[in-house]
Structure 1
Amino acid sequence: MARPRTSAYEIGERYEQSLSDRERRLGAHFTPADVAEALVARAWEAHDHDVAAGPVFCDPSCGGGAFLIAAANRLHREGHSPRRIVERLVVGIDLDPGAVEASTQALIHWADEALAAAGAPGAAVADAAVADAGVAVAGVAVADPRATVTPRVFLADGLIDPLDEVGPIDIVVGNPPFQNQLGADTARDAAQRAAVVERFGLAAKGYVDVASLFILRALRLVRPGGTVCLIQPRSLLAARDSAAVRASVLEGNRLDAVWLPGSKIFAAAVDVCAPIITAGVGDAAWSTRVIGGRLADIELGRVSREQLAAAPAWSPLWAVATGVPTVEGPRGEPAASPSSALTIGDLATATAGFRDQFYGVVAHLVAEQPRRGARVVSTGMIDPLALSWSTRSSKIGGAAWVAPWVDLDAVAASDPDLDAWIARQLTPKVLVATQTKVLEVVEDQRGDLVPLTPVISVVPRGEVSVAHLAAALLVPAATAWAAARFGGGGMSHTALKLAAKQVLEIPVPCDADAWGVAAERVQRGAPDTPEGWLDLAATLNASWGIDDAELAAWWVARLPQMSSRR
């Protein structure tokens, strides 16, 4: 889809380019015109509308008006008049007066262009309006304010204000502000927290992103059968604090599709998605399309309602988008469902340190072995069955370290709590890296390594050996199982991020003899050829009762040893 040729978009672009760094940190980012047009098209396709009457579009946080212009373009292509579109079929809301002015002028300018193209009497000529008009938005000349159309753009908080004047809505589209509640700039104050909790109840508790609450508001704005398509941070799929929003979407609504572009859309370092939801359809059976590509034009697969309901998050959607093979658990259970087999948690404990432990250890790092010390391992030092401590530089606390030690005497003298925590880590265990493409583990048979947060430490209980635990976690099918159950929350589009408690849910192998063979093979260390890795993958998968060459090849291709460092 080529970029739409209308200077109406430029008004919003220039306005949003004028925003300060702080305003951008508050979540204001301009949606590219081609992306807005593509998502409006997907929402239009999902909506069961009367084309003759024309569905009413609304963007509840319209910013510079990209989605309003995209909706106007679509309605115009369907035969609606520019005046009716601007005055009845497109509605914008924003709490920023500058955004309201920019969107209003963008729609006036769009109508002028459309009327001029049709040769309507008295219509302003677009180029002349831009060059000569006496009103400016963010330094950009815009259409004559004496234009004969009156856009419906309201100054209001689209999240919590009543919005009685907006009227019935058929399709809600937009890109609401991303406001992570752990950030100092974007966290709600006490009054704002009270207001959103009053409107949204338990869904607004915790650290849920403001953008996700806009989904709940949109579902209340649209008529039954209406469509909602709002850009979201990808964390919506898996974040713990978004669980209530995800549950609300699945209660009486239909999740028609989820867009996962697989590439960066905005300058901000955040991956995005966009659920497309039909409101108020009851309990009819449905499945969700997973679509990719910048313009939401690549069909990637489908996920059933039952799969989504069984999983603790919307991770099955992410798994489809990233090409994760479908696997069953060791006893044939679907990957998204809890396993009835034994799990890592039945055989081991798993913990990861907190910020206090991270900064405490970093404060006592030394480059030379102290009189009494322990080696410190960061997640960047861990590859499958290979530890790069002393052989490769890793960033820790903003500095490069090759062979970091923690000075235990210095810790004992200054921080007894940290000293006790380190002592608990010095036991035989398996270390699991986070933010990786596959589960990456190394053995610590001697129990002399200190894991640096967020490395996960898995300590065996009872008779199970460290090698058996390492083999269980390395099984390629275990990575695919975990991706379908917990994936989607990583820092990058393809990274799998697990918490310690999620590691404990991973099933252990069901074939004891094959598991023993895999444990013996793991103790020999990392293979040094692709063929060796494929052989190891087959051995590990056999412990789950799986013989799948494609799954093995997928796993090997994602290993850091087979590609550049993540």
Structure 2
Amino acid sequence: MARRDDEDDRRSSDAYERHLADHERDRRRAQGSFYTPPDLVAWILDHALAGAPPEATVLDPACGTGHFLVAAARRLGVRAVHGSDLDPEAVRIARERLAAIDPTVPDADLERQVVVADGLTAWAGRTFDAVVGNPPFLGQLRRRSAGQNEEHRRGLGAYTDTSAVFLHRSLDLVGPGGAVALVQPLSVLAARDAGAVRTAVAGRGAVTDFWCSDRPVFDGTPVLTCVPVVRVGAEPPTDPGAWGRLAAPTFDIPAVALPGDTGVIGDLADCTADFRDQFYGLAPFVREGLDGGTPLITTGLIDPAESRWGRTSTRFAGTTYDAPAVDLAALRADGGLARWADARLVPKLLVAGQGRVVEAVADVRGEWLPSVPVVSVVPRAVGDLWRLLAVLLAPPVVAHAAARYLGTGLTPGSVKVSARQVAALPLPADEVAWAEGARLAERAQAASDAGRPELLAATGRVMTAAYDAAPEAFGWWSARVARRPDGKRPPLSDPAAAG
């Protein structure tokens, strides 16, 4: 193997990555490979190697051109680092960069330490003091061969991202006290299909350090990322359902402590979400402003204690409507969705799939049909309708949902909730304040556009007290729920919306 000085190797690595950037963007996206900024490499090594012995060993299972390997070798020596990647050219460059750091290491040793191989299988039976790196980000339907190894996907969700599969596998590649620190998409914090990975972490140790950014840091991808540093054997284990709270401060979401023994929405109501069968089944029966039709309520038409049906245009099944309505007679005559429609045409709350806050509105007379992905909340006692609306408007509940499910929304900082997650939202302890909040929520929905903001604010204040939460939760919520003078809500990226 030809030896190069360190400056030449850096140029080689940089040139290769420029080649990827200029000529192989499609290949990089197909592989899910994006290269890591030096300051993030340093942060990961600082925390993964904290307390490690001088003779510590490091593995990067998807090493690319060796950024992590080179940085680790400068701390520990070339013989301490190991890596693998499916790209032979990247592996060649990584070996040359390591050779430049320590020319005394034989070529044969470097070829054993840094290999062209699937990082999920290459290191079976080996353990290291730290596993670090930036594995490829790929969903189940777009994964390269590294993600196709069924042995390491067994027990994981069908759409678990390849990067999370690497995290799961790496737990077996470090011994007690060792650390795993791999870059992950922010969705690992709360995505359903990453749940088994979070549970595995809790079974093996704890997240002892955490990094994330509210802006993309990798050229060529808008994906937001994080780095949970998992220490094997650490106590107490990190709650698998609460990883989102680790990132909440980055997104200025206030910390709230909600009661754990007061019950949840699912104790009082049935929460359901509809799927593609209902979406496509409804499409032939939706008309524009059909006389006598049944209003179709999409996520975009739901605001806190307000339906904007007939006042705001919306899209359904690729078509824009000013007032979408379902021809209920034709739908019932067709028969396919008749029972579904009858089950939905009852007094209920409709909850938007995601928004700046949890957005919910009461369908008092049961006259609206929900569009996917709107969640229907049907109280078992009609008298609970306004009480449940007050819960969904409560600032501490919204902050709790924003933190717990952070990373699952389409927009950074958006609050996305599924039917199951709505059902799990906690109820308040203060029944008197809750009753007042319900009264105010009912008034807010009945109010004019001019009068609603004040009543919404009053509802938020009372419900903050009902949960005995700090006023910061109300301030955060009120800034996000406020409308601009033009009647529109600011986008999540609008700095003025942050309050």
* TM-score, normalisation: structure 2: 0.84
Q: 1:154: how far off? A: 0.2
1:464 is paired with a residue whose SS is helix
Structure 1 residues 26 and 6: alpha-carbon distance in aligned structure 2, compared to 1, 3 A threshold: closer
**Would the aligned equivalents of 2:152 and 2:169 in 1 still touch at CA under 8 Å?**
no
- 1:94 alignment partner in structure 2: 85
Alignment-mate amino acid for residue 43 of structure 1: A
Q: 1:6: how far off? A: 4.2
Q: 1:106: how far off? A: 4.7
1:424 aligns with 2:343: yes
Return 5+ residue gaps in structure 2 as ranges.
1-8, 493-499
- 1:137 alignment partner in structure 2: none
Which of 87, 91, 104 is the aligned partner of 2:95? Answer: 104
- 1:28 alignment partner in structure 2: 33
Q: 1:355: how far off? A: 1.4
1:196 aligns with 2:196: no
Structure 1 residues 475 and 11: alpha-carbon distance in aligned structure 2, compared to 1, 3 A threshold: same
- 1:541 alignment partner in structure 2: 464
- 1:256 alignment partner in structure 2: 208
Which of 281, 293, 296 is the aligned partner of 1:376? Answer: 296
Which of 480, 490, 493 is the aligned partner of 1:564? Answer: 490
C-alpha distance after superposition, 1:409-461 (max 9, x if no partner): 443454x2323222221111111112223211111112111111111111111
**Would the aligned equivalents of 1:215 and 1:228 in 2 still touch at CA under 8 Å?**
yes
Partner Cα distance (1:489, 1:440) in 2: 16
Alignment-mate amino acid for residue 466 of structure 2: S
- 1:207 alignment partner in structure 2: 159
Structure 1 residues 101 and 19: alpha-carbon distance in aligned structure 2, compared to 1, 3 A threshold: farther
Partner Cα distance (1:226, 1:9) in 2: 29
Q: 1:251: how far off? A: 2.6
Q: CA RMSD in A?
A: 3.2
- 1:134 alignment partner in structure 2: none
2:261 is paired with a residue whose SS is coil
Partner Cα distance (1:147, 1:104) in 2: 8
- 2:223 alignment partner in structure 1: 270
- 2:353 alignment partner in structure 1: 434
Structure 1 residues 513 and 390: alpha-carbon distance in aligned structure 2, compared to 1, 3 A threshold: same
Q: 1:187: how far off? A: 8.2
Alignment-mate amino acid for residue 18 of structure 2: R
- 1:342 alignment partner in structure 2: 263
1:48 is paired with a residue whose SS is coil
1:179 aligns with 2:170: no
2:210 is paired with a residue whose SS is strand
- What stretches of structure 1 move > 6 A for 4+ residues in a row? 146-149
1:356 aligns with 2:282: no
| Identical positions, percent | 35
Q: 1:384: how far off? A: 0.9
Q: 1:157: how far off? A: 0.9
Structure 1 residues 400 and 565: alpha-carbon distance in aligned structure 2, compared to 1, 3 A threshold: farther
1:19 aligns with 2:19: no
- 2:307 alignment partner in structure 1: 387
Q: 1:495: how far off? A: 1.8
Return 5+ residue gaps in structure 1 as ranges.
124-145, 287-304, 334-338
Structure 1 residues 254 and 428: alpha-carbon distance in aligned structure 2, compared to 1, 3 A threshold: closer
Partner Cα distance (2:249, 2:138) in 1: 27
Alignment-mate amino acid for residue 183 of structure 2: I
**Would the aligned equivalents of 2:262 and 2:426 in 1 still touch at CA under 8 Å?**
yes
Structure 1 residues 380 and 9: alpha-carbon distance in aligned structure 2, compared to 1, 3 A threshold: farther
- 1:512 alignment partner in structure 2: 431
Partner Cα distance (2:306, 2:144) in 1: 40
C-alpha distance after superposition, 1:86-138 (max 9, x if no partner): xx133220123233234334545xx2xx68xxxx9xx9xxxxxxxxxxxxxxx
Q: 1:498: how far off? A: 1.4
* TM-score, normalisation: structure 1: 0.74
Q: Which moved more, 1:360-369 or 1:16-25?
A: 16-25
- 1:170 alignment partner in structure 2: 129
Q: 1:354: how far off? A: 0.4
2:295 is paired with a residue whose SS is strand
Alignment-mate amino acid for residue 29 of structure 1: F
